[in-house]
Chain A
């Protein structure tokens, strides 16, 4: 520190360091009089070579020297008396601040407060406060590595397959005197390569929680550095596969909007680490200091295993199968000329049985031990028999909710399930669909109560549903009596479906767009369908077969209501005092001054050589 102190702080303003004015001229870069002198990029020859080799992937800043970390993401709002202007990100030509070897440091995207490069000073690690708990310096640059068992956990299936299938064959051919054989040679090449790849990809993967973003660096040859903004976080899942449970390891998945798949999954961390990281990220996403302890939770409901099993057995495909199979078997036995042919017929049926049973089994295994809890962080879901999953959906991230009442349940037990659209869980594939399950099965009253809870202020009964004109029966002969839609100031509710009855509830402020469509048959009948578009997921919200004039009025009424609802909507950072403190003037806020930074308000961005 002493080396850089006098050189940086005590020099007259504007005098270039090192004494030789570069050709480009500096006046433009001078800091304004009145502020403390800005840290100057050191010019001339660095007094000493850096102690640590400078890694091109090193983070832009040293571990934060003061309790208030720098905000790398939104450029800081210039306060009146405020912080010194930042030095130009790159010193003028002719000064060689970077060590000559190696490529130039990679400027991370969006890192506006670009501190000067380090060569003049002591190594960054030595400058300030002790590094954050995570920064035990695994990957160069203070990033933390995943658990060393990660590659094993990821690749054990492939390795097991090789050992079980290929090895005996190779060994067999070897003992038969044919030499190792092609397969054996292949194994000799492939296995070490795979092991080396697994090790290297683990070695080069690192993560770090920055104040507003999670940074994940990965890649062996093609390096990738990704930052996931915390205020855009839609959901956080901690997933433990069976083997991971045995080893106490878990995968942390961040769901953000965009991209069909999970962005930046961290596989694998120890369970404690994953939990701590999740708590810190959720605090950051809420706009709280990341030292905030994990929020307390209150258990809302549990799904008993017996009810889950019963609900799985009470599914239409299974009942149909149970009824149809003996009939088919009887027919086969009656018609088949011999027992052997009857057996072969049964063998043909086996895949059909599997096709019916497998999804039911998967649903059961995925939702076993389903627990739903509520906390200031959002809703917490825990479930899973073999692979366990703990999901956290922050408040305001639920885009739409669907109450599902299958025909069999309505006729027998009066149960219902609840599904949600959460941006980031993505397309309605099976895994996404089960991720989006808020309640696999419960008595209808309980499901409705939950619906009211996750969409505070909504009341299913308070919204009157209007049916469709009788002529709609020509298009939808079975369901037309069921179809209904209605809305209030903030909510849109629609009901449809004949076998599976769906009741969709959507906060109007979540509508991405409002659409009306009309096919040729609808046009002939003077009907039209109105859609409220939501983010991809199991819930699609629509009011089918409305009268054409009514639909026209609906489109404009609903888009008006949605606009008004947006103006009073819950902020993205639900704990921060204002909607989304990441850009001024958003939401057309009347008092749109510089946004308060929840945990760094009024702080000058720390200078890298402070202290």
Chain B
């Protein structure tokens, strides 16, 4: 299931068998659904331009190229979705992300300044929400997209409660 299984850097430590919590597959669905019309419009424009200077064969080639691109993106989106993961440990939260540019962030609960839960119209249509953790450091990039709203609310409440218990100054 994991996009980079067996990689020690991005595995949760301790090997307690719990592993990463993954985000909802609907995140991938949403991105695929959003990408399709964008690529379709681009393909239409490109094919139109090609038709002006060449014949229909080339236009078909261009459209075929876009279809291939979409297929690639389809796979990539799926892998990217699987690369997202988070783990709640006793004292901190781990979030990992990305395939080409990968990152893992360890956020101690005591460092949480506030927690955001956002859900735009698209996300709502797919039953998703994003949880973002903020610390006093702007560089802390702990965002977890593609959570079901109940899970997002649970995570938010739990993080807020844990943050209160472990609060440290700056």
Contact = CB atoms under 8 A, between A and B. Distances in A.
B108 A563 contact: yes
A516 B103 contact: yes
Contacts of B169: 396, 569, 571-572, 579-580
Nearest to B109: A563
Contact of A535 (B107, B136, B168): B136
A534 B111 CA distance: 11
Q: How large is the interface on A (under 10, 10 to 19, 20 to 34, 35 or more residues)?
A: 35 or more
A517 B101 contact: yes
A587 B167 contact: yes
A562 B170 contact: no
Secondary structure of the A side of the interface?
mixed
B158 interface: no
A513 B103 contact: no
A408 B5 CA distance: 47
Nearest to B92: A559
B66 to A, nearest CB: 25
Contact of B107 (A234, A513, A523, A580): A513
B139 interface: yes
B110 A510 contact: no
A516 B9 contact: yes
Given A513-B111, A513-B135, A588-B166, A519 B100 contact: yes
A18 interface: no
B13 to A, nearest CB: 5
B8 A552 contact: yes
Nearest to B136: A535
A528 interface: yes
Given A523-B102, A533-B135, A562-B108, A513 B170 contact: no
B117 interface: no
A561 to B, nearest CB: 12
B9 A552 contact: yes
Given A257-B170, A551-B9, A515 B108 contact: no
B22 to A, nearest CB: 19
A450 interface: no
B161 to A, nearest CB: 12
A531 interface: yes
B21 interface: no
A533 B165 contact: no
B118 interface: no
B27 to A, nearest CB: 21
Interface in A145-182: none
- Of the candidates B7, B9, B111, B142, the one having the most CB atoms from chain A within 10 angstroms of its own CB is B9
Contacts of A586: 167-168
Interface in B120-170: 135-142, 165-170
A583 B103 CA distance: 35
Contacts of B67: none
Contact of B170 (A399, A523, A563): A399
A134 interface: no
A512 B111 contact: yes
B163 to A, nearest CB: 11
A432 B92 CA distance: 31
Q: How large is the interface on B (under 10, 10 to 19, 20 to 34, 35 or more residues)?
A: 20 to 34
A563 to B, nearest CB: 6
Nearest to B93: A513
Nearest to A546: B9
Interface string A553-588: 001100100110010010110000001100101111
Given A517-B101, A559-B106, A531 B9 contact: no
B39 interface: no
A218 to B, nearest CB: 26
Contacts of A513: 105-108, 111, 135, 137, 139-140, 142
Interface string A390-413: 000000110100000000000000
A518 interface: yes
Contact of A531 (B10, B139, B142): B139
Interface string A504-520: 00000110111111111
B83 to A, nearest CB: 12
A563 B105 contact: no
A520 B101 contact: yes
A381 B166 CA distance: 34
A60 B124 CA distance: 43
B158 to A, nearest CB: 17
B9 A548 contact: yes
Given A513-B105, A518-B101, A562-B108, A556 B13 contact: yes
A579 B170 CA distance: 12
B104 interface: yes
A423 interface: yes
Nearest to B167: A586
A396 B113 CA distance: 19
30 contacts: A234-B170, A396-B169, A509-B168, A512-B137, A512-B140, A513-B107, A513-B135, A513-B137, A514-B105, A514-B106, A515-B103, A515-B105, A515-B106, A515-B141, A516-B9, A517-B104, A520-B100, A533-B135, A533-B139, A534-B137, A535-B170, A549-B8, A552-B9, A555-B104, A556-B13, A559-B106, A566-B110, A579-B169, A583-B167, A588-B165
Given A257-B170, A516-B9, 15 more contacts: A258-B113, A397-B170, A513-B111, A514-B105, A518-B103, A534-B139, A536-B137, A548-B9, A549-B8, A552-B11, A555-B106, A559-B106, A566-B110, A579-B169, A586-B167
Interface of B: 7-11, 13, 91-92, 100-108, 110-111, 113, 135-142, 165-170
Closest 6 A/B residue pairs (Cβ): A512-B137, A533-B137, A512-B135, A552-B9, A513-B140, A572-B169
